[in-house]
Structure 1
């Protein structure tokens, strides 16, 4: 199976052909995928070099002229390093862009902590008006990229990862999907965490919701799920643990409820290892998730 990032350049290259508003801004990373697109659209495929602050500022300038910039590099260089530009050049000026990241929380462990970004979504949560897509499969990534570019002049973040579920689901860029229904609690699986969550909850009487778009948070879907299930909610996110606990608490503010946030821990893992080892170390493999989810919703959750 190809990766989400494998879909990125071909999809956006087609969008460049289809929509004269679309522009692409790169900082060296990913430029080879746009060689042909740059030949066809030299004024709308821009490589600023290894200058991530300029990457975002240039996108803001293009947006202010009426273009729809798609901006790409590793998550740590796209959200964290140029955060001031994301905050001011895009947010403060109300300039829309589509930020498309790669490398996710720990997709390239050999790159070290400089290339890891488990806190990217939490950081964007400090700003107003961002839509955040977290696809769980390359097919979903393609759909959500098109949604993002077509979203007027909105500010959109698309978080791509090499981790993926075995099959893609139909996603609409807005709502959570109900994948499994139960009565003992609700588990929200975000993006590429769905397969592990389904394995972890096999035989447990819980509802599983699938979220490929996490901001805005689909509060209505979570409330509906708690109409038929106990309001014990577990969030399983492929980034910093607890990123969405406040959103879940707000959604259920009128109900007695409990929320458990599972995800990437704050402790830095200083050995490179592989992706699977990082998943296991953060307790995000199916076995560890089953123990933590089962312990939270209680023994009565077994079917």
Structure 2
């Protein structure tokens, strides 16, 4: 199976052939995978080199001309380093585009902390008007990419990951999807965390909701699922900073007595690096770690 990043580069190259409004802006990362597309569309595949502020500003400039820019690099260099440009050149200018990240929280541990961005979704969530997609499978990444590329002038962040679920789920770029139903509480699995969540709650009487679009959060489905349980207890399992969506979940449940537990990457600087699997275990996001914390919270 190909990775989300491989699927992204292949599909985006095809989309350039189909839609003259699209342009791709790169900062060296994945540039080798757009060689043929750059030869075919030299004016719409732009590599600015390792200049991430320029990367985002170029995308914003293209958007001002009526283009639909797809801006791509590692998450730490796409959201964190040029955050002011994201805020001003897209948000303040009122332009739209598609930011597509790779790297995620710890997809390339050998790159060290500079190449990890567990806070990217939380940081982008401080800005108004962004749709944030977190696919859990390459097929989902393709569907959400096509949806974002064909959109009008809205602002979309597509967060790709090396971690993937074994099978895709239907995605529509909007709501939460019910995977299973139970009475003891609700567990929301975001993107590539679904397989681990399902393994963790095996035998527990809980509802599992699957999210590939986390902003805007489907508050209606979350509230309905929580209200149907014995106690409106909600566990959020996110592949980035723990608690990123806790406030949004709390607002959805405002008129219900409820509890919310946010699980994800801890708020501590990483100084020891291993494999993706070792990082998942170290963060308690493997099935065993999730099982212990979910069962303890729900009293199961």
Q: Normalising by structure 2, report the TM-score.
A: 0.99
- Per-residue CA shift, 1:150-195, capped at 9, x if unaligned? 1211110000000000000010000110001001100000000000
**Which whole-Å CA distance do the structure 2 matches of 1:220 and 1:61 have between them?**
36
CA deviation after TM superposition for structure 1 residue 269, in Å: 2.2
What secondary structure does 1:189 align onto? strand
1:238 is aligned to 2:266: no
**Which whole-Å CA distance do the structure 2 matches of 1:36 and 1:223 have between them?**
47
- Per-residue CA shift, 1:207-246, capped at 9, x if unaligned? 0000000000000110110232131000000000000000
**Which whole-Å CA distance do the structure 1 matches of 2:99 and 2:90 have between them?**
11
Counterpart in the other structure of 1:20: 20
Alignment coverage as a number of residue pairs: 299
- Per-residue CA shift, 1:240-282, capped at 9, x if unaligned? 0000000000001011100000000011221121111111111
**Which whole-Å CA distance do the structure 1 matches of 2:83 and 2:149 have between them?**
21
**Which whole-Å CA distance do the structure 2 matches of 1:186 and 1:52 have between them?**
39
Name which of structure 1's ranges 149-158 and 237-246 shifts more when overlaid on structure 2: 149-158
Name which of structure 1's ranges 244-253 and 32-41 shifts more when overlaid on structure 2: 32-41
**Which whole-Å CA distance do the structure 2 matches of 1:82 and 1:227 have between them?**
41
Q: Which runs of 5+ in 1 are unaligned?
A: none
Name which of structure 1's ranges 268-277 and 56-65 shifts more when overlaid on structure 2: 268-277
Counterpart in the other structure of 1:142: 142
Counterpart in the other structure of 1:269: 270
Name which of structure 1's ranges 271-280 and 17-26 shifts more when overlaid on structure 2: 271-280
1:104 is aligned to 2:104: yes
What secondary structure does 2:240 align onto? strand
CA deviation after TM superposition for structure 1 residue 33, in Å: 1.0
**Which whole-Å CA distance do the structure 2 matches of 1:93 and 1:235 have between them?**
33
CA deviation after TM superposition for structure 1 residue 149, in Å: 0.9
Q: Which runs of 5+ in 2 are unaligned?
A: none
Counterpart in the other structure of 1:280: 281
**Which whole-Å CA distance do the structure 2 matches of 1:221 and 1:41 have between them?**
43
RMSD: 0.7
CA deviation after TM superposition for structure 1 residue 54, in Å: 0.2
Q: Which runs of 4+ in 1 moved over 6 A?
A: none
